[in-house]
A = this chain, B = another copy of it.
Amino acid sequence: MAKAGPGRAHVCPVAAFQKMISGKYKLRIVWDLKDGPRRYGEIRSGLLRGAEGSAPITPRVLSRELKALAASGLIDRRDFGVVPPKVEYRLTRKGQSCVPVVAAIRDWGERHLGEPARAEAAE
């Protein structure tokens, strides 16, 4: 067997997903792109929502996240090759396919994480 490549017999899909969307922004970026293509700066701006208290994402980190998402096949980079630079990012079919999953996550989060005062017993 060629073990040079990723000879993953079968990893837990949950773990694989976790790894794929590891990081603070990947899921949010995917969610942000669900409505259509967005430019680098737009994504960056969109990431600021809900993060007024925290520092904005640095170019280095955003760049890294975008590359990782592209490497995962979730998004696609489109460089217009003009000056000033214009680059758009959009979801691939694969990326679009996981939007419902992100939606489910977001939905659950809104329902159970919106209000921290949830000192609920086990049953």
Contact = CB atoms under 8 A, between A and B. Distances in A.
Contacts of A9: 50, 52-53
A15 to B, nearest CB: 6
Nearest to A52: B9
| Number of this chain's copies in the complex | 2
B13 A110 contact: yes
Nearest to A20: B113
A76 interface: yes
Nearest to A27: B14
Interface in A61-113: 73, 76, 78, 90, 92-94, 97-98, 100-102, 104-113
Interface of A: 4, 6, 9-18, 20-21, 24, 27-28, 31, 49-53, 73, 76, 78, 90, 92-94, 97-98, 100-102, 104-114, 116, 118-123
Given A13-B105, A14-B109, A97-B108, 9 more contacts: A6-B116, A11-B113, A12-B51, A16-B109, A17-B105, A20-B113, A73-B120, A78-B122, A105-B105
